[in-house]
Amino acid sequence: MPDVIISGGGPTGMMLAAELRLHDVDVVVLEKEAEPSDLVRSLGLQPRSIEILDQRGLLERFLEHGKQYPEGARRFAGLEPPSGSPAPIDSAHGYLLGIPQPVTDRLLTEHAAELGADIRRAQELTGFEQDDDGVTVESAGGDRLRARWLVGCDGGRSLVRRMLGVGFPGDPAQTEWLLGEFEVTTPPDELAAVAEEVRKTHKGFGIGPAGNGWHRAVVPAATVSEDRATPPTLEEFRTQLRAYAGTDFGVHSPRRLSRFTDATRLVERYRTGRVFLAGDAAHVHPPLGGQGLNLGIQDAFNLGWKLAAAVNGWAPATLLDSYHAERHPVAADVLNTTRVQSLLISSEHGPQAVRRLLTELLGFDDVSRFLVEKVTGTGIRYDFGDPTAPDLVGRRMRDIRLSDGPLYAHLRQGRGLLLDQAGTLSVAGWSDRVDLLADPAPALPAPAALLRPDGHVAWLGDEQRDLEAHLFAWFGAPR
């Protein structure tokens, strides 16, 4: 019997499967599609997701397939600060990594498989029942499988969410965009000039090189379709390109066509008994800022070590519920931010007036930094319930330099970590879950710091008794 069943083999499901396997949790991934999808629904990874890849030793394989855009991660709704230079990002990876979702999917799937995840394609979850001891899942073909926990990573139309009966309040789609990759006949200089001119008034439009002779285009659709899963036709794309740009750029031989909308919804709760929701199963929102896939990966990174702790028997009583407590507010903030960006790209006079005002405000470094941190995910601070705690507690620790190299190299196995500058503290009793590193790190703004497996700071201080209280709170009883 597996410990955990994951419904959905997209980036959220595969990231979660890999995190669970780091802790020897038996995990089965049920994916309804027989073959990986080649639809491009995400075009890149934000700095916080890039940090997560670095923390698990995956970044180099992603960098081989992507392109770094330093300015791309520092734009809010395409606004240009008056100074021409947004506030710097407090990260060793202050760039957007341009990489199409099929590549991200493939690399995360390979990572999960390397760690031993049982990935079953053409196996769609069709139903489940839960009780006090576990969850019984039924898949297409009538097969039944029993596990201790179930996680729905099965997208915006999540069957797991619908079967739970959990509310998914929000707003239906008002706007739709078409996304495609083609060959074009228009010369590069002419294409770039036309695209630049159109974007002066239509920020939801774009077309440019995607590598190897291909071009990627995004353009508002004429109406909101009844079925987002049905891809647009080439002629539909040509019609919309001509409507906005006066030309269809001679697009032909499409290899990928898809559509997405600005529907905005957030599930009421992330956990119901032994069933969790993550990724698009828990939240859908407009694509502005490119946070959708990133938000799902970060859900998985938060849930993985906590669920593994429960399986392995050392999770504190409140640890699993902290998944909802921490990630639900983050998603709510992302939904709010993407709504704002959707309005700011409108060509209507009201949104354009707000856009001009916000552009002026971006001249203040604090405003610029605040908005950049929202889009990149680097400004997240989880509320641990102590208003007197230093500001760094609850935040992710950036990749500071230690005497033997970067901090993130010590987080590869998904364990907790105590950084002790004086070398006087101990994790005795928790050494099976927490590593100890005595290192006089000048960049560490405290005598010692306790990091959770996801790299967020759980404690700062220098007293052993206080440390042990926080070890108990996050890593359970000592052994």
The pLDDT assigned to 140 comes to 86
The pTM for the full model equals 0.92
* Mean pLDDT, residues 304-325: 98
> 138-195, pLDDT tens digit by residue?
998 788 999 999 999 999 999 999 999 999 999 988 888 898 889 999 999 999 999 9
* Highest averaged pLDDT of the listed ranges 208-217, 357-366, 439-448: 439-448
DSSP reduced 3-state for 64? coil
CA distances in angstroms from 171 to 261, 286, 336, listed in the order given: 11, 11, 12
* Mean pLDDT, residues 351-367: 89
Q: Which CATH class is domain 176-261?
A: alpha beta
The pLDDT assigned to 40 comes to 64
Confidence of residue 10 (pLDDT cuts 50, 70, 90): very high
> Which is nearest to 270 in space by CA: 312, 313, 311, 329?
329
The pLDDT assigned to 346 comes to 80
Instruction: Determine the longest span between alpha carbons in the chain, in angstroms.
Output: 70
The pLDDT assigned to 435 comes to 98
3-state secondary structure 288-311: CCCCHHHHHHHHHHHHHHHHHHHH
User: What is the rounded distance in angstroms from the CA atom of residue 440 to the CA atom of residue 285?
Assistant: 44
CATH fold of 4-170+265-376 reads FAD/NAD(P)-binding domain (3.50.50)
Q: In whole angstroms, how large is the CA radius of gyration of the chain? A: 23
Q: What is the separation, in whole angstroms, between the first and last Cα of the chain?
A: 27
> 399-450, pLDDT tens digit by residue?
999 999 999 999 999 999 999 999 999 999 999 999 999 999 999 999 999 9
By mean pLDDT, which of 270-274, 439-443, 459-463 is the weakest? 439-443
Q: E strands along 15-109, which residues?
A: 27-31, 44-45, 67-69, 96-98
**Which helix or strand (DSSP H or E) is residue 106 part of?**
helix 101-114
Confidence of residue 199 (pLDDT cuts 50, 70, 90): confident
Q: Does the pLDDT at position 227 exceed 80?
A: no
Residue bearing the bigger pLDDT, 205 or 276? 276
* DSSP type of residue 381: B
Region label for 240, one of left (φ > 0), alpha (ψ between -120 and 50) or beta (otherwise): alpha
By mean pLDDT, which of 28-37, 238-247, 381-390 is the weakest? 28-37
* Mean pLDDT, residues 453-459: 98
Q: Does the pLDDT at position 32 exceed 70?
A: yes
What percent of the chain clears pLDDT 70, i.e. is strictly above it?
97
Q: Does the pLDDT at position 271 exceed 70?
A: yes
The pLDDT assigned to 1 comes to 87
Ranges of each domain in the chain: 4-170+265-376, 176-261, 401-475
> 39-49, pLDDT tens digit by residue?
666 778 999 99
Token pair 């001249």 in the structure block, residue: 363
Considering the four listed CATH numbers 3.90.1150.10, 3.40.30.120, 3.40.190.10, 3.40.50.720, the one that applies to the domain covering 401-475 is 3.40.30.120
The pLDDT assigned to 73 comes to 67
**341-356 burial code (b ≥16 CB/10 A, e <16):** bbbbbbeeeebeeebe
Chain centroid offset of residue 306 CA: 17
Confidence of residue 382 (pLDDT cuts 50, 70, 90): very high
* Highest averaged pLDDT of the listed ranges 160-169, 208-217, 346-355, 362-371: 160-169
User: What is the rounded distance in angstroms from the CA atom of residue 455 to the CA atom of residue 396?
Assistant: 5
* Mean pLDDT, residues 63-74: 83
